[in-house]
Structure 1
Amino acid sequence: MSKKVVTFGEIMLRLSTPGYTRFVQAQNFDVTFGGGEANVAVSLSNYGFESYFVTKLPKHEIGQSAVNHLRRFGVKDDYIVRGGDRIGIYFLETGASQRASKVIYDRANSAVALMKKGEVDWKKVFENAAWFHWTGITPALGKNAQEILNEACETAKSMGVTVSCDLNFRAKMWTTEEAQAVMKPLMKYVDVCIANEEDAEKSLGLKADKTNVEAGKLDEEGYFNVAKKLKETYGFQAVSITLRESYSASRNGWSALLLDDKDCKEPYRSRRYDIDIVDRVGGGDSFASGLIYGLLTKENSKEALEFAVAASCLKHTIPGDFNLVSVDEVEKLIKSGGSGRVER
């Protein structure tokens, strides 16, 4: 029997410049959909779980297109609320070499940002659910989203559902002070905390020492200490931190660490992959979904972490937000090390 997993957040219309063209060059945009929690829902559906995404979308054709896009990949839309006037939009310019990618948001007053408490029956949503996942992007949408998220977390916790959070700080959406005021109180509901090189500092005020990710350098001990501090401070069952060594917009080193109550009582560092990037948007979400899958199905948490890192490595090679890979493809990468040879 497949496990029921739930995510809650915003799915947006993604308009990206073709290839590596700049915004000022673009004559048209490539159209798709994406958003942190939606990306996780799609991956978990691909892995065979009963995956539900909760949000609010307008009744018009663009809102329906977003729903249809989720349905393509098996995500269940039973709890998507319909209403409001607009879907959030984000514009993406894909960088290359030393030129960074750029994102411009147009998401103010989107349907989910104006959603109100009471529009979702969370007790019904979490019936027979094994897991609930959210990211720091959702409370950054504003007061309404914060209240609904708090209600969702309270309900999930009361019903024995495991709760995970990817801290996902977005500087274009709120300040560090605003983020910490909201995120710190929400941590009491979280069992599994996921962060990247700056999230713990921006969202929760815990900084890794001697680290300069933009110079492609990581001090592992600094991140080990952050993981320990996070676990001690908030009592998480598990803490995982992704480690991105950014040599350029086109090439990154990618690995992660995990600290938990079971198999990794000291921080465990995964295998490291050198990635030639096609599209890094959604990379963190693909890691989160891989970790959720691994923690629910693998024999130990080290195997879960290796699955998450390998799954996310593959996502960096796929255009669009969604990680369109199967469990078998991830397992094959773990076994092979990633030669990239043609399969005939």
Structure 2
Amino acid sequence: MSKGLSKNYKEGAVLSFGELLLRLSPDDGGQWLADNALSVFVGGAELNVASALSLWDVPSQYFTALPKNGMSDQVIGYVSQQGIDTSKVFYGGNRIGLYFLTKGKDLKHDALIYDRAASAFAELTPGMVDWDTALDGVTWFHFSAICPAISQQTADVCLGVLQAASARGITISVDLNYRSKLWQYGKQPQDVMTELVKYCDVIMGNIWAVETMLGIPVLGDIHESGQKSIYLKEALSTSKRIVEQFPKCKAVANTFRFDGNGEIEYYAALYADGEFYSSQEYSAKAIVSKVGSGDCFMAGLIYGFYNDQTPQQTLEYATAAAFRKLFLASDATTNTVEEITNTIENGQ
């Protein structure tokens, strides 16, 4: 395992923090209107992480905010059935956030619409939650860049819980997932994220997200190179600059997924303890859904570190888990540890 992250995580649980969303998925042809039916998925980036960890037998807790009503009771019952501890959920506000993902004939034409204004989570304010209680029994705290993208108020809530978690010595991870349709409140992502990332021990994303979120530029014109060696070299450079700028950070992970020439290519890299690791590469002719793949990778990182695996083992597990998620329609993975391990061993 990474020496910088070495601690007994098994003394506590992993708490995933973020907004629970209902995903509605109409088809692009409008058949859902004739059928009078919409597919509904319970999701949210951080919930996807919590679901994967629970499936893989890591003690998994989830914090979100929901209105106190019958629908919320049904949703929380569904989440709890996955073995996730929902006792930290905060009840208040009037609605659950939604997003619509219209399924195109190919994944490039999927259409995303958010409907999460004035949701219970978006209406959280600093001081509303007792973080000491929420963080009790927690050894790892995870959040994503989607949360502070909602509003300055939500970003302030994030800062408060990060400060509380850091003060308690809890390991903190962040997924720098960028959502261009968010960040609509007058702040650039790096204006907010550079303050929050100061508290993070593990940072996951990709070199382009880091450029957008943290202002650490991708050096040179590599966007169209298509050369794995160049991308990995840039991942190492970016990782070193992250650790220099944010000294609390102990590990940086970068994922690479490319769609081209009729194939999906997927691989990843990890920088930990001054050493750089790259994963085996996976490819496929077609996939089912990109939703939740990055969340699954993040869960794989946490799983590896939590179980004291080496950096290379951790990276291989996270990469294989994320690749397998591309073939599932659900938001969260349903692949077991055994299935993921078999993927690593078989290279497919």
**TM-score (structure 1 length as normaliser):** 0.90
Q: In structure 1, what is the equivalent of residue 254 of structure 2?
A: 241
How do 1:105-120 and structure 2 match up within 5 A?
105-120=114-129
Q: In structure 1, what is the equivalent of residue 28 of structure 2?
A: 22
8 Å CA contact 2:18, 2:143 repeated in 1: yes
Q: In structure 2, what is the equivalent of residue 258 of structure 1?
A: 270
Give the letter for the 1:70 counterpart.
V
Give the letter for the 1:210 counterpart.
D
Q: In structure 2, what is the equivalent of residue 4 of structure 1?
A: 13
Give the letter for the 2:237 counterpart.
N
Give the % identical residues. 33
Q: In structure 2, what is the equivalent of residue 90 of structure 1?
A: 99
Q: Partners in 2 of 1:37 and 1:253 — Cα distance? A: 25
Q: In structure 1, what is the equivalent of residue 88 of structure 2?
A: 79
Q: Kindly indicate whether residue 165 of structure 2 is the aligned counterpart of residue 159 of structure 1.
A: no
Structure 1 SS opposite 2:258? strand
Single out whichever of 238-247 and 22-31 deviates more from structure 2. 22-31
What is the aligned counterpart of 2:61 among 46, 52, 60? 52
Q: In structure 2, what is the equivalent of residue 341 of structure 1?
A: none
8 Å CA contact 1:7, 1:38 repeated in 2: yes
Specify which structure has the bigger relative contact order, considering alpha-carbon pairs within 8 angstroms and separated by 6 or more residues: 2
Q: Kindly indicate whether residue 221 of structure 2 is the aligned counterpart of residue 210 of structure 1.
A: yes
Cα drift, residue 138 of structure 1: 0.4
Q: Kindly indicate whether residue 220 of structure 2 is the aligned counterpart of residue 223 of structure 1.
A: no
How do 1:261-276 and structure 2 match up within 5 A?
261=273, 265-275=274-284, 276=286
Q: Partners in 2 of 1:321 and 1:104 — Cα distance? A: 16
Q: Partners in 2 of 1:210 and 1:61 — Cα distance? A: 53
Single out whichever of 182-191 and 203-212 deviates more from structure 2. 203-212
Q: In structure 2, what is the equivalent of residue 62 of structure 1?
A: 71
Single out whichever of 7-16 and 295-304 deviates more from structure 2. 295-304
8 Å CA contact 1:11, 1:66 repeated in 2: no
Cα drift, residue 197 of structure 1: 4.3
Structure 2 SS opposite 1:241? strand
Q: Partners in 1 of 2:102 and 2:15 — Cα distance? A: 30
**Residues 292/23 of structure 1: CA separation in 2 closer, same or farther (3 Å cut):** farther
Cα drift, residue 163 of structure 1: 0.3
8 Å CA contact 2:107, 2:289 repeated in 1: no
Q: Partners in 2 of 1:311 and 1:54 — Cα distance? A: 23
Q: Kindly indicate whether residue 318 of structure 2 is the aligned counterpart of residue 305 of structure 1.
A: no
Single out whichever of 103-112 and 172-181 deviates more from structure 2. 172-181
**Residues 296/62 of structure 1: CA separation in 2 closer, same or farther (3 Å cut):** same
Give the letter for the 2:239 counterpart.
A
Cα drift, residue 170 of structure 1: 1.0
Q: Provide the alpha-carbon RMSD of the alignment.
A: 2.1
Give the letter for the 1:243 counterpart.
F
**Residues 98/331 of structure 1: CA separation in 2 closer, same or farther (3 Å cut):** closer
**Residues 159/2 of structure 1: CA separation in 2 closer, same or farther (3 Å cut):** closer
Give the letter for the 1:294 counterpart.
G
Deviations 1:42-75 (A, max 9, x none): 1111111221111111122332232122112111
Give the letter for the 1:299 counterpart.
Q
Q: Kindly indicate whether residue 178 of structure 2 is the aligned counterpart of residue 178 of structure 1.
A: no
Q: Partners in 2 of 1:42 and 1:25 — Cα distance? A: 31
Q: Partners in 2 of 1:3 and 1:331 — Cα distance? A: 25
Cα drift, residue 36 of structure 1: 0.8
Give the letter for the 2:109 counterpart.
A
Give the letter for the 1:211 counterpart.
I
Q: Partners in 2 of 1:247 and 1:260 — Cα distance? A: 30
**Residues 98/117 of structure 1: CA separation in 2 closer, same or farther (3 Å cut):** closer
Cα drift, residue 331 of structure 1: 1.1
Structure 2 SS opposite 1:253? strand
Q: Kindly indicate whether residue 192 of structure 2 is the aligned counterpart of residue 192 of structure 1.
A: no
Q: In structure 2, what is the equivalent of residue 342 of structure 1?
A: none
8 Å CA contact 1:13, 1:66 repeated in 2: no
Q: Partners in 1 of 2:227 and 2:95 — Cα distance? A: 41
User: Which ranges of structure 2 fall in alignment gaps of 5 or more residues?
Assistant: 1-9
Q: In structure 1, what is the equivalent of residue 290 of structure 2?
A: 280
Q: In structure 1, what is the equivalent of residue 6 of structure 2?
A: none
Single out whichever of 21-30 and 134-143 deviates more from structure 2. 21-30
**TM-score (structure 2 length as normaliser):** 0.89
